Structure 1
Amino acid sequence: MTRRTCTIGLLFAAMAVASAGFADAGERPETRTAQGPVAGTVEGGLRVFRGIPYALPPVGERRWRPPASPTAWDGTLDARAFGPDCMQPPYPADSVYFEPARPMSEDCLTLNVWAPAKARKAPVIVWIHGGALQFGSSASPMYDGREYAKRGIVFVSINYRLGVFGWLAHPGLSAESADGISGNYGLLDQIAALQWVQRNIAAFDGDPANVTAMGESAGALSVSYLLGSPKARGLFGKAIVQSTNLRTMPRLRETAFGLPPAEATGRAFAESLGAANVGALRGIDPERLVAAGLRTHFVAQPVVDGAIVPDQLVAILDRSEQMKIPVLAGVNSGEVRSQRRLVPAVPTDAAGYEAAIAARYGKLAPAFLRLYPASSPLESMLAATRDTIYGWAGERIVRQQAAAGLPAYFYVFDHCYAEARARDLCAFHASELPFTFGIAGKRPLGSPNWPTPAGATERRLAGQMIDYWIAFAARAVPTASGGSVWPPYGDAENFMNFGERPVARRDPFPGSFEFHEEWMGSRRAAGLQWFTP
């Protein structure tokens, strides 16, 4: 299969996309995209297409450039298999998030579509995977879209550039840009995928006017920044944000909040490899770049460049400049039980704990200790770290949308089960995924280290949670068969607690948001990082 540029072909293909429906060739369903026809598979009555390119391969001279639309291909694209993962290091083998390695390549900008057997203008969800912007893949079994498609959703999952490939800023790269900026290539990939959806999803019986962007962890961070990016306006109309954060991000050329300029970090990275310029960087093998990213502790993250990311997200929210769309967001009660490296050193005795808190929080220490008492230092610090990183961020976004009069819903995932409890991993970071994908107790999750949720309670909760998510994506109102009514956040600070079953409650972590709002605000006013990951 070769790809070629064909202006006339692209024109006619684009004209055909809106009216093209599915054609079955035995078990090979076919449809036509703007770049040409694709043939997928029929699985359980669903139409599944994998590995569709949404941008040109970012290799060679295209490395560290914004994504460009793919060219037309000859013949019919075989869309039965996932594309390769984007370049990344392996997860530690003992990590709860470890998955066996899959093929990797820089040529990785592909997406996958699960579509119902029969649909007409179906709601669309675009899934952005997590992994610290350094790991992850749309091919993970955890992200199988079949349960969404069974319930009438056209589900799309995407790959995007990771690590130094997706987030490197450098003066030489900025000089090549018409806007004089660099970095944020992974975010631009996500925007390109959403643009592809707008152009092509009608060919899969999806409604381009009813698209929800959904992500968890780094994917939720991505959705959060897309909410604040002018480049993403109009590409989706609802957002699902699972465990996001609002940490400090570097500026492109200025030191800010104690962080060095992103271009300076990129220059230092290049110098560590002996690369005198961008051309030399582009000549380095991708495997060597991955290894250098690990060696230099390169942090993959958005860059405040004034264009794609106009400002710190919390400042965008302060000015109410984010997209005004319905949002569903939340946090897990045990987020950092699987992320102990994020938890500050915890004194084992009450006196030492109180002294450490006094040194860190000053006049706010008494308020901190009322929320996170010295009677149980470890549990208090686990809760405080959760709220600092995830709780405050998710609630901040929901509060902002609610204040703008938009449908805004908050949740706390608080479910535990025997295998997680035995490993002290109740409601750990990402543990809601088997439930929001409706697969708990149904099929393997991909990671051999994941505490398996396998009981009847888990299957029932998973069915309800995916129902809520689908109803929100379809109508901006989360409902579930047999589930509690989920009221919007509003002035009462309503939220849904997902424990043994969904229960609507008020005020997720009493006093926590108000404390962190004051603490983060004081840090920002002093020109300090409000927190680091």
Structure 2
Amino acid sequence: MLDPHTIARPVVATTHGAVRGVSADEGLCFAGIPFAAPPVGGLRLRPPEPAVPWSGVRDAAGFPAAPAQHAGITPELEALGPHAVGVARALGAADGTFSEDCLYLNVWTPCLEGRLPVLMWIYGGGFETGTASPPSFDGAALSRLTGAVVVAANYRVGALGWLHPAGPGGDRWAASANLGLQDQTAALRWIRDNAGRFGGDPGNVTVAGASAGAFSVGALLALPDAKGLFHKAILQSGSVTRVQSPDIARALTENFLSAAGVASLDELATASLGRILDAQSSVVDSDIGRRNLPGGRIWGVVHDGTVLPARPLDAVAAGAAVGIPLLIGANRDEIRMWAELGGAGYRPADEDALTAEMARANVVDPPALLEAYRVRLRAAAPRPGGTSAAAPDELRDLRTLFLSDAVYRVPSARLARTQVAAGGPAHSYLLSAEPFGAGTGAFHGAEAFYLGDRLTALDIDTPDNRAVRDQLATAWSRFLRTGDPGWPAHDLAGSPTGTTHLVGPDPRDVHEPPLDIAAHWGLGT
């Protein structure tokens, strides 16, 4: 095996040309490798085309620009300190340079010889932001912790990656649906053809992602063009249910075209990038609940019927992922950070508004579910002289419990249940670790600090946090190699809701969703 420390500038011949990488964090890094042609000019809003081959040796020491988006790391955010910046990056915020010419990937590998597991990472960011490059995503730590070859690829975000062909002449653009998924699939084809040249095993590829990345993974399970390109899947804080209907997606695109001041996709193909970015932000819901519950207006995966023929949950139920082991994770307090940052606008106007939101999430008996959450909340923190009417902060906390379940935890449990019922393997876990303490809890994106080994950088390098990092790294490493993270598989016969492993200070098997609310969500019966 070649020692990476003896190879200052290693050269690897890919299918499109040779690249020269650098030593990085006990391994090697090859940055900015094209996996498709630049989606600019006549290729804007078109499916990814093959990368153009090059002669000579291409320097792969500099990371590529992030996909076109508004900067998420602002001076105002930086002034709040490293924890705030760390959370923003964990949620998909990017800084640095941005460009439509973005279809490049980065490879981090322990060595160039061998047949190591390959992990393709898909970043999150609400399908509107994100990048495959540091500092938002640094695959060096994940490669070191898991012993895998880590590949992270940019994909188009916002309207450029996720608009649904609509408007005058929209039928001529039918092949341009779900461009972000098509970009991800092009990267998977590159991995199939090139992973072995970087010390990876093209026959053992795991596609993994968090948040929007995990929802992308869920869609890839049902995508015909991705079939056979990966062998295992990890979904962290995302599942298969965050999929727009064609009608809602069509209306969103039409509103976007109007906001951008163009009459058709043909005109949009030559519109200024600034106009596109401003318009795409103006037509989506900003509230975390309205965005993610059924009927929400947000960019992302669309059940278009052409690129994505079936809804992913239906495809999994029909056996599309039977041969693909799934590792499905969620965080206990997914929505807590948005509740902390949302201020008064996050709180429901009253209890009726909250139960109406629950009904929108297809809860059968919203008042009963609300009462179950209230019992849980008051048992954890009893209020003197508690009454049946919720105090304003209790309303906020009740909504946080509900949205954490509705958007992330219950859909994750439902995916595990569906996969097992179809005859496929699934393991699930719930992260209970609190990197910044009880105030923010195990919030959405918290796992990134452990899997990215950011404990020292964020001044949270405690024995408890190191133990959680090691739990997650060991589980992911084992799953990448064998499809088994080291705890019992999700088993519908062994628990009313299936067996889920708690990752945190008190690792053990638990019910997910908890039995006090499972029946209200149609699970556990």
Q: TM-score when scaled to structure 2? A: 0.82
Aligned counterparts of 1:428 and 1:196: Cα–Cα separation in 2: 34
Q: Is 1:459 aligned to 2:466, yes or no?
A: yes
1:274 lines up with 2:289 in the alignment: no
Question: Which of these residues, 499, 504, 507, is aligned with residue 499 of structure 1?
Answer: 504
Query: For residues 25 and 377 of structure 1, do their structure 2 counterparts lie closer, same or farther at Cα, with a shift above 3 Å needed?
Result: closer
Q: Is the 8 A contact 2:420 2:490 kept in 1?
A: yes
Give, in whole Å, the separation in 2 of the partners of 1:337 and 1:138: 26
Match of 2:400 in 1: 382
Q: Do the aligned partners of 1:22 and 1:203 also contact (CA within 8 Å) in 2? A: no
**Aligned equivalent of 1:97, options 85, 88, 94:** 88
- Equivalents in 2 of 1:313, 1:507: separation in Å? 21
CA contact (8 A) 2:336 2:440 kept: yes
Match of 1:368 in 2: 369
Correspondence for 2:351: 353
Distance change (3 Å), C-alpha of 1:379 and 1:118? same
CA–CA distance in structure 2, aligned partners of residues 293 and 187 of structure 1: 18
The percent identity for this pair of structures is 30
Structure 1 position 299, deviation (Å): 2.5
The equivalences for 1:302-381 within 5 A come to 302-322=301-321, 324-340=323-339, 345-346=347-348, 353=351, 357=355, 361=359, 364-373=365-374, 375=378, 376-381=394-399
* Separation (CA, whole Å) in 2 of partners of 1:489 and 1:371: 25
Deviations 1:435-481 (A, max 9, x none): 133x042446xxxxxxx5321221222022111101101100113xx
**Unpaired segments ≥5 residues, structure 2:** 78-83, 285-296, 379-393
Q: Does 1:75 align with 2:90?
A: no
Q: Is the 8 A contact 1:119 1:152 kept in 2?
A: no
Equivalent position amino acid for 2:308 in 1:
V
Which segment drifts farther, 330-339 or 212-221? 330-339
Kept in 2: contact 1:229–1:322 (CA 8 A): no
* 2:457 is the alignment partner of 1:434: no
Counterpart of 1:237 in structure 2: which amino acid? H
Render the CA deviation track for 1:198-223: whole Å, top value 9, x for unaligned.
Answer: 01111111111100000000000000
Cα displacement (A) at 1:516: 2.0
Matched to 1:432, the amino acid is E
Per the alignment, in what secondary structure is the counterpart of residue 374 of structure 2?
coil
Unaligned ranges ≥5, structure 1:
1-20, 445-451, 480-485, 520-533
Contact 1:324-1:404 at 8 Å conserved across structures: no
Conservation of the 8 A alpha-carbon contact between 2:430 and 2:502: yes
Distance 1:173 1:78 in 2: 42
Residues matched between the structures, number: 469
Given residue 466 of structure 1, which amino acid in structure 2 is its aligned partner? Answer: A
CA separation of 1:320/1:161 partners in 2, compared to 1, >3 Å: closer, same or farther? same
Once residues 512 and 24 of structure 1 are traced to their aligned partners in structure 2, the CA distance between those partners, rounded to angstroms, is 53
Distance in 1 of aligned mates of 2:18 and 2:6: 13
> How much does 1:304 deviate?
1.3
1:109-258 to 2 correspondences below 5 Å: 109-117=103-111, 119-150=113-144, 151-171=146-166, 174-177=170-173, 180-247=174-241, 249-252=243-246, 255=247
CA contact (8 A) 1:372 1:381 kept: no
Measure how far apart 1:387 and its partner are: 0.7
Cα deviations across residues 406-428 of structure 1 (Å, max 9, x unaligned)? 331111111124x343xx21111
Q: How far is the alpha carbon of 1:244 from its aligned partner?
A: 0.7
Shift in Å at residue 495 of structure 1? 1.5
Tell me: CA distance 1:156–1:359, structure 2 relative to 1, closer, same or farther (3 Å). closer
Distance 1:391 1:149 in 2: 27
Q: Are residue 471 (structure 1) and residue 462 (structure 2) matched?
A: no
Q: CA RMSD in A?
A: 2.9
Native 8 Å contact 1:134 1:162 kept in 2: yes
The one of 495, 504, 514 aligned to 1:509:
514
Distance in 1 (alpha carbons) for counterparts of 2:51 and 2:518: 45
Distance verdict in 2 for CA 1:314–1:404, change over 3 Å:
closer
Q: Take 1:434 and 1:142, find their aligned partners in 2: how far apart are those partners? A: 11
